[in-house]
Structure 1
Amino acid sequence: MSIPVTAYLLLGSNLGDRTALLRTARAHLAAVAGEIMAASALYETAAWGREDQPAFLNQALAVRTFLTAEELLGQCLATEQAAGRERLERWGSRTLDVDILLYGPALIDQPSLTVPHPRLAERRFALVPLAEIGPEVRHPRLGLSVTELLARCPDPLPVRPWLGN
């Protein structure tokens, strides 16, 4: 039997019924990836990378999983596909995005998967919800806590608590 790992995921949506898509994604991931130990509030953020699109709702999850990082990635991609995700352009609008931010203390550099997420320290929209559920979690490559990363984050885009439904 393998040892469980706490993985941190980021959900994002800027098309369709964003709250419903995130709710469905959480349920799907709980069924296929492992126990959701913590979920941040929802945050609305301006689009990063391509700013000429609707705002995103984002949420971080801490998942206790027995899946390998590659298996977890497969489940993240399946969750996106079930939500109707189409990959038409980099950083484009999407019904659902599920990223692996951290997978325990692992450092993974493969063609299909890089963990920690390579742009985590540059993205306020990922760090704010992650800091809510894991402020002292350390970035295994940089050696800094999520709180420290957030304090140093160069991203100027606002991240606001979602007050919608």
Structure 2
Amino acid sequence: MASREERVYLSVGSNIHPRVQNIQQALSRLRAVNGVNVIDESHWYETQPWGKRDQANFYNVSVSLTTNLTPEELLDELHTIEQAGHRQRLVHWGPRTIDLDIIFWGDRQINTATLTIPHAQAAKRNFVLLPTAEIAKTDVLVGPQVAQLIAANQDQSWIKKVRNVSELDD
């Protein structure tokens, strides 16, 4: 019996100049990873910082992909992309050049020392749920999870869809 192909959903964000370029470079690097096939990308959103408000606004986008990598291998690839984008982990929920998080992996539930799927904070974050909902509507495994989380979500932070990425200023 063939295994079903599961979609993986990532949240990608940046709030350190140049935000647009940081995200575009990360997405380009992601598309170049062997064993990763990017399927869809949400609109871009400008979002209020979550958790630690005294910092610049973020640009965020959600991406869906399929992969033959294990969750741990994909996480390693995402960390490599973050390092290439000069990501520094100095302040919890602080500013970042680039942030790539695995949010959903089909209907899998993973809880290890280095990885929790679904993402532990996804249910509390508009900037994760709303862009992901946009691209997961027809996904029978993830779409219902996202809809349920949105229905229960109490995040009051604002999120604005960006009409045209090329018009964004940094």
Same fold (TM over 0.5): yes
User: Structure 2: which 5+ residue stretches go unaligned?
Assistant: none
| Partners of 2:113 and 2:138 in 1: CA distance | 29
- Cα shift readout 1:101-130 (whole Å, capped 9, x = no counterpart): 011221111001111101111111100100
Query: For residue 108 of structure 1, what is the aligned residue in structure 2?
Result: 110
Choose 31-40 or 74-83, whichever is displaced more.
Answer: 31-40
What amino acid does structure 2 have at the position aligned with 1:162? Answer: V
1:136 Cα deviation after fit: 5.1
- Provide the C-alpha distance between the structure 1 equivalents of 2:154 and 2:91, rounded to a whole number of angstroms: 24
Tell me the TM-score normalized by structure 1.
0.91
TM-score by length of 2: 0.88
* 1:94 and 2:96 aligned: yes
The residue that corresponds to 1:124 in the other structure is: 126
Match of 2:83 among 81, 84, 91: 81
* Counterpart secondary structure, 2:32: helix
Sequence identity, in percent? 37
Going from structure 1 to structure 2, the CA distance change for 1:149 and 1:3 (only over 3 Å counts) comes to closer
Determine the C-alpha separation between the residues in 2 that align with 1:80 and 1:93.
13
2-side partners of 1:129 and 1:115: how far apart?
17
Mapped pair 1:27 → 2:52: no
- Which of 48, 54, 78 does residue 56 from structure 2 map onto? 54
Q: How many residues align?
A: 163
Q: Which amino acid aligns with 1:8?
A: Y
Contact 2:106-2:141 within 8 A present in 1 as well: no
Change (3 A) 1:157 1:139: farther
SS of residue in 2 equivalent to 1:12: strand
**Separation (CA, whole Å) in 1 of partners of 2:58 and 2:26:** 15
